[in-house]
Amino acid sequence: MLRARLMLVLAMVFAVLSAGGLGAGLLSLAPMLQVILGEDGGSLRSVAEAHNLAGSFPELPAGLVESLPTDPMEGVVLLLIGIGVLTILGATANFGHQFCSQTVSISTVARIRLDAFRHAVEMPLSDVFRFGPSEIVSRINKDAQALQQGFNTLLGKTVAQLTKGLAAFAVAIYIDWRLTLVAVVLGPLIGLVLRKFGKRIKRGARGSLDAQASLLRISNEAIQGLRAIKAGTAERESFRRFSAENREVLKQDLRIRTARAISSPLVEALAVCTALVLVGVASKQILDGNLQFDQFILALAALGVAGGSLRPLANLVNDIQAASAPADRLFEILDCERERHLVSDPVRIGRHVDSVTFENVVVRYDGAKSNAVDGVSLTVRHGETVAFVGPNGCGKTTLLSTVSGLLRPLEGRVLLDGVDLAGVDLRSLRRQIGVVTQEPLIVRDTILGNILLGMRSRDEDAARAAAGLALADEFIEELPNGYQTEVGEFGSTLSGGQRQRLAIARAILRDPSLLVLDEATSAIDAESEDRINDAVLEFGRGRTVLVIAHRMATILAADRIVVMDEGRIVDDGTHAELLERCPLYERLARPVPMS
């Protein structure tokens, strides 16, 4: 918030002006009572003259005193007009305060939301796995919104109530400091109550946000995977999981409800008790002749206004405490190092021309009991096409993710042309790598926009040429608006094969020196796969191509085949060599006999 210094200063100035108007209005009640009760001559001028004769502060100018009316009713009317003007000025200042404070709150949360999203997309992939995608999305959106409510309360309502309360409190001190001292002594009791319940609300808010993040994850999984859930008759299981997490959200919200419900009436009861004590003390002072009745009424009125202004602070403090929980959760994301900050002095790497080398690479995911990649050593020469095969979960995807810096080895090194990737500038590395995954990213944009995703230039001709190499132009030309056709969320309006062709076109467009294909043609029919493989192999000439595949057509097109199992390389060679000496590869390569 401190970045918006001008708006903050204006908000504070307007709040003080609004409170000053309230204080001046309360002070004006004293001469009005004196005029109405007929004290000091019964006119506004005589009240002002008596004020100066008593040496009271502040002394009024002689010219001002002479201009005041001598008729009592005229004096009352003048005071009422003055109070009305003060009310209008106070309302205007209050608008200025609310306008400035809400501007600061909204703009601050927008910056926080933007920073959190930037951190999320630039966080190491291992940290994203640790939090979970749905958890991060929940924090960026829901927690930021909850934080905005806290900011509005802190800068808007709290400042307004606090300044008005302090202004009324200052008036009470000016009128009679003894009664005010009694209120000051009893006031800390209310503060202790607010502190006690504020902590409880903060804990409940944190638990509620955690449970709501889990609720978002479960609902996302269910709705996005609805096809599989219906096909597998898993509706009841999905409902059971959602219901269990929904009960947890309810439990935490009810926990907050109890604390909120108790705090406000308890503070009100303490305030009434404080007022009763004040009346008792004042009554003794009046009976002893040490306090005038009109002073008592004015002091009590000022303290009542102060109490009325400060009383809502019970709920406001609760709101601020509730907002501290989402702030803590957002800080957990903002405190994560970005990828580019992991290396103090990154080296810009040149275009790949020699080799990719894995030296005793070990990768383990957070919370896993065993290594996903366990001591892999391998060298791939530039221009070579290498296929990685093995059972599901054997570490193929994890190993190749280290080449583009998506995952960092726990032990060992990955070198590109002899340069350790742990110290390179990731942008210079990733700009020369084309990656196609089994589930390619398709965003809500046009076909052309999806092919150009991540490219700095918007060369439509180059995009069309890349789509032709990936055989994507065959279906694109049949779409209603061709390359300008809008694609649904996650590519929902396209088939799996069409999405993969777009991803291949995107990778080709990057003109990479190193191409990583992770089941890139798994959703494409056999006939089209052969044609795409031929096109990709032709495109891959003079480039290093690393392929993860299960289909034999793709595997046989590789120069070498690397067989992996349980995170290790168990063999490496050509198709014929591996059939002779590697039982695991033989099982993977032999077709299953039909019964």
Of 276, 309, 336, the domain-final residue: 336
Predicted confidence at residue 381, as pLDDT, reads: 94
Q: Which residues contact 196 (CB under 8 A, 6 or more apart)?
A: none
pLDDT digits (tens, 9 = 90+) for 145-176: 888 888 888 888 778 877 877 787 777 777 77
What whole-number distance in Å separates Cα of residue 443 and Cα of residue 502? 11
**For residue 363, what pLDDT is reported?**
93
Q: Are 565 and 584 in contact (CB under 8 A)?
A: yes
Task: Give the side-chain half-sphere CA count within 13 A for 225.
Answer: 13
Residue 333 and residue 136 in contact, taking contact as beta carbons nearer than 8 Å: yes
CB 520 within 8 A of CB 438: yes
Strands (E), 204-294: none
232 and 145 in a common domain: yes
Confidence of residue 45 (pLDDT cuts 50, 70, 90): confident
DSSP string, 142-183: IIHHHHHHHHHIIIIIIHHHHHHHHHHHHHHHHH-HHHHHHH
Select the more confidently predicted residue: 71 or 272: 71
Range in 7-11, 16-20, 85-89, 282-286 the model is least confident about: 282-286
211, 249 contact by CB (below 8 A): yes
Residues 236 and 118 in one domain: yes
Would you say residue 299 lies in a domain?
yes
- Higher model confidence: residue 207 or residue 307? 207
pLDDT of residue 195: 64
Q: 325 and 374: one domain? A: no
Q: What is the pLDDT of residue 366?
A: 82
Q: What percent of the chain has pLDDT over 90?
A: 13
> Does some domain include residue 500?
yes
Q: Is there a contact between 204 and 263 (Cβ–Cβ < 8 Å)? A: no
- Determine the pLDDT at residue 39: 58
Q: Same domain, yes or no, for 329 and 360? A: no
| pLDDT tens track for 367-392 | 788 899 999 999 999 999 999 999 88
Q: How confident is the model at residue 70 (pLDDT cuts 50, 70, 90)?
A: confident
Tell me 39's DSSP state: G
Distance, in Å, from the CA atom of 123 to the CA atom of 335, rounded to the nearest integer, reads: 10
> Do 510 and 362 fall into the same domain?
yes
pLDDT at residue 277, as a whole number: 72
Give yes or no: residues 240 and 284 share one domain.
yes
At residue 358, does pLDDT exceed 90?
Answer: yes
Q: Does the pLDDT at position 102 exceed 70? A: yes
HSE-CB for 60 with a 13 A CA cutoff = 18
Q: Is the pLDDT of residue 323 over 70?
A: yes
Residue 190 pLDDT: 61
Q: Looking at the structure, do residues 39 and 182 belong to the same domain, yes or no? A: yes
412 and 439 belong to one structural domain: yes
Alpha helices in 54-176 (DSSP H): 62-67, 72-122, 125-131, 133-138, 144-152, 159-175
Q: Domain check: are 313 and 382 in the same one?
A: no
Confidence category of residue 593, pLDDT binned at 50, 70, 90: very low
Same domain, residue pair 400 and 448: yes
Q: What CATH number is attached to the domain comprising 243?
A: 1.20.1560.10
55 within domain boundaries: yes
The verdict on residue 346 lying in a domain is no
Q: Which range of residues forms the domain containing residue 68?
A: 5-336
- Angle formed by the axes of helices 29-37 and 5-27, to 10°? 10
- Domain endpoint, select from 303, 336, 369: 336
Q: Contact 196/260 with Cβ under 8 angstroms?
A: no
Q: Say whether pLDDT at 260 is over 50.
A: yes
516-529 tens-digit pLDDT:
988 766 656 666 67
Instruction: Give the DSSP H or E segment for 252.
Output: helix 235-287
H/E stretch holding 514 reads strand 514-518
Determine which helix (DSSP H) or strand (DSSP E) holds 301, and give its type and residue range. helix 293-310
Statement to judge: residues 68 and 208 lie in one domain: yes
CA distances from 43 to 30, 441, 456, 487 (A): 13, 83, 81, 81
Q: In the chain, how many domains are there?
A: 2
Last residue of a domain, one of 336, 371, 401: 336
Q: Provide the mean pLDDT of the chain.
A: 80
- pLDDT category of residue 594 using cuts at 50, 70 and 90: very low
Which pLDDT does position 355 carry in this prediction? 92
User: Is the pLDDT reported for residue 114 higher than 70?
Assistant: yes
Could you count the other beta carbons within 10 Å of the beta carbon of residue 5? 10
Is 342 a domain residue?
no
pLDDT at 227 over 80: no
Does 426 fall in a domain? Answer: yes
Question: Is position 275 within any domain?
Answer: yes
Query: What is the pTM for the complete model shown?
Result: 0.69
Tokens of 286: 């009046």
Q: Note the pLDDT of residue 189.
A: 61
Q: Rounded to 10 degrees, what is the CA torsion of 235, 241, 243, 249?
A: -150
Q: Give the CATH number for residue 453.
A: 3.40.50.300
Residue 400 sits in the same domain as residue 534: yes
How far is the C-alpha of 331 from the C-alpha of 335, rounded, in Å? 6
Quick check: is 345 in a domain? no
Give pLDDT tens digits for 537-579: 778 888 999 998 877 877 888 899 999 999 999 999 999 899 9
